[in-house]
Amino acid sequence: MNKSSETGTLISFEGVEGCGKSTQIVLLVERLRAAGREVVVSREPGATPLGSELRKLLLDPAHNPDSLTELLLYLADRREHLRLVIAPALQRGALVLVDRYVDSTWVYQGFARDGVEISLLESLNRLVVGDHWPQLTFLLDCPALKGLKRARERNRATGEEGVADRFEQRHLDFHNRVRRGFLTLAEAEKERFRVVDAGREIEMIHNDIWLEFSLKYAIS
Ligand code: TYD
């Protein structure tokens, strides 16, 4: 996984549950492909065969691992994701869009719960991804309660009513801390983050994302 010979671009999407990341990724991808770009879309956890097993374990409400165990499982998923999906795509020069990545770990396993010390978490995150840090990160920001309601509607629409995953079941306080954690990161790394108001119409959010994107990468 030698970064120096890679010519692709890694972009991540982050935010609270139900903030609309997946919808926005789909819209952006359609537009980028129409402009002739090779785009690889991926997500965490669960983008590889091993990862999809880890995803089931991680989201299953039957388990209640401590924060270090949870962190190590997410990092194992990430390492596999990087090795099998992200690094090869970057090597080919593709644009890689990931739905959650290093910042989710910082927020969910660090900031939002009394758990792994942030400095240790940062070192482990770096150990796993090395230089494969996102060049650009869209933070889709909306109130945690609004996002949770949307996630619930989505579960209902997909016939998964009542099966909120292990994270969706956590208290609103936790999700409010998740939101604050992402905003804290965005404030600390203004160069990398673009904070987008995700409480609006889908089309308006997409237009903002496209504008930021096309400005940064000179695509029209
Ligand atoms: P998912 O159903 O993919 O949620 P979403 O659609 O909101 O992205 O579930 C992923 C869950 O995993 C989500 O609750 C956030 C959590 N997560 C972490 O706790 N740490 C991590 O490093 C990552 C990548 C995700």
pLDDT tens figures, 108-157: 999 998 779 999 999 999 999 999 999 999 999 999 999 999 988 887 77
Q: Which of 11-15, 208-212, 215-219 has the lowest mean pLDDT?
A: 215-219
- Residue 19: pLDDT over 60: yes
Q: Is there a contact between 199 and 179 (Cβ–Cβ < 8 Å)? A: no
User: Tell me, what DSSP letter sits at residue 130?
Assistant: T
| Cβ contacts of 187 within 8 Å, gap of 6 or more | none
Atom of ligand 1 nearest to the CA of 58: 12
**Mean predicted confidence (pLDDT) in 31-54:** 96
* Residue ranges per structural domain of the chain: 3-217
| Cβ contacts of 194 within 8 Å, gap of 6 or more | 136, 137, 138, 139, 209, 212
Q: Is there a contact between 58 and 72 (Cβ–Cβ < 8 Å)? A: no
Residue nearest to atom 17 of ligand 1 (CA): 104
Of 115 and 74, more confident = 74
- Residue 195: pLDDT over 70: yes
Atom of ligand 1 nearest to the CA of 100: 24
Mutate to test the pocket of ligand 1, among 104, 118, 174 (most ligand atoms within 8 A of CB): 104
| Residue 180, both tokens | 């604050």
pLDDT of residue 168: 75
CB 170 less than 6 A from any atom of ligand 1: no
Q: Is there a contact between 111 and 118 (Cβ–Cβ < 8 Å)? A: yes
Of 158 and 135, more confident = 135
**Mean predicted confidence (pLDDT) in 207-214:** 94
Q: Which CATH number fits domain 3-217: 3.40.50.300, 1.10.3720.10, 3.40.50.1240, 3.40.50.150?
A: 3.40.50.300
CB 167 less than 6 A from any atom of ligand 1: yes
- Residue 209: pLDDT over 80: yes
